[in-house]
Structure 1
């Protein structure tokens, strides 16, 4: 399983996968890790369940080993989870008493999600769902920080990294960006230590309020 990420205009993570039980476990972990990176740890458990249901639906109704893609996207105060596959068969909730094979997982999906649906395309279909997030000020700051750090990496000529290497790269970029900002404040005649202290005060106030 490999992946890449796009941050404009929204935070977005794309993960191609093969419809295999082992891949579902990897997808669940990847989704949780991505949400942690975005500062949405409280949404990870629900997202893992939705990812499991959508990916398992591909295994059952499209076929084991089928190619598919998971997309996670933060849209304002909602998390959108999509799974794309190459089948044009639209899933149905069926009757309330149906068994696993006719959509029990989709009933769970409908119960958890604020909204869900299916989109057909020339290449196949996408089954999507959205969950409402408690998107507080700290999460908005994390979203802005990720976008700023990735833009800073590009401005410095850095390569796009994935997985753990990507996290390490963002941490290194954060250090370099903070250092650049301190140089900028000193060049303007400001006290770098004072700027750091004020930033720390803002952080602690928001962390205490969370």
Structure 2
């Protein structure tokens, strides 16, 4: 993956074929590019975003279909775009396991500052913006609480006092376990993910 700096904006474009093996290659390429840009704080969330976006292309557009990953970094934010040749736009709905873009899209919406879709001349782009700004931690905590409350509803758990600390911690444990299963199913390393998440958290709170 190659990038260049234009007026303080870093940009990298990577065409690929939507195959399961390509998802692992994309994760490595993203981490390598962010390291080269001296932006390692984005790496964990960017890997998760790219993994989910690429997996959705494989599942809903088709294996072997042409796609392009675009990374743009500027102003303390990272924009991740994944272009494909389908005009079918994903919709954020209830996250049952068999629904299109269900849990993955909820995950994307929960960790990103913003996300959306763009129709292009040849298909669509699904994008999200990430930030490593410490001042935005409060917003991320609020997003996490909302995601956990929503996760609890999806499991059919009682909603009464669903935002109490104890219940949200129990939901967080279940959600983390689900995410580890998700990472394993995508061919990733659950233990490595936990280690990176811990290092990422410690670096942000230092």
TM-score by length of 2: 0.61
Q: Does 2:88 align with 1:89?
A: yes
Q: Specify the alignment match of 2:20 in structure 1.
A: 21
Q: Which runs of 4+ in 1 moved over 4 A?
A: none
Give the secondary-structure state (helix, strand or coil) at the position aligned to 1:128. Answer: strand
Task: Report the CA distance shift for 1:73/1:93 in structure 2 as closer, same or farther (over 3 A).
Answer: same
**Partner in structure 2 of residue 5 of structure 1:** 3
Q: Corresponding residue for 2:32?
A: 33
SS in 2 for 1:25: helix
Question: Of 96, 99, 102, which aligns to 2:97?
Answer: 99
Whole-angstrom distance in 2 between the partners of 1:88 and 1:108: 22
Distance change (3 Å), C-alpha of 1:100 and 1:50: farther
Task: State whether residues 88 and 120 of structure 1, in contact with CA within 8 Å, keep that contact through their aligned partners in structure 2.
Answer: yes
Distance in 2 (alpha carbons) for counterparts of 1:111 and 1:11: 25
Q: 1:63 deviation in Å? A: 0.5
DSSP-derived class of the 2:6 partner = coil
Count of residues paired in the alignment = 133
Query: In structure 2, how many angstroms separate the alpha carbons of the residues matched to 1:56 and 1:100?
Result: 14
Displacement of 1:8 in angstroms is 1.4
The farther-off stretch of 19-28 and 125-134 is: 125-134
> What CA deviation, in whole Å up to 9, does each residue of 1:8-67 have, x standing for no partner?
131001110110000000000000000011111122111111110111110011001110
Q: Structure 2: any 5+ residue segments left out of the alignment?
A: 135-205
1:17–1:68 contact (8 Å) kept in structure 2: yes
On the 8 A contact 1:81/1:130 being kept in 2, the answer is yes
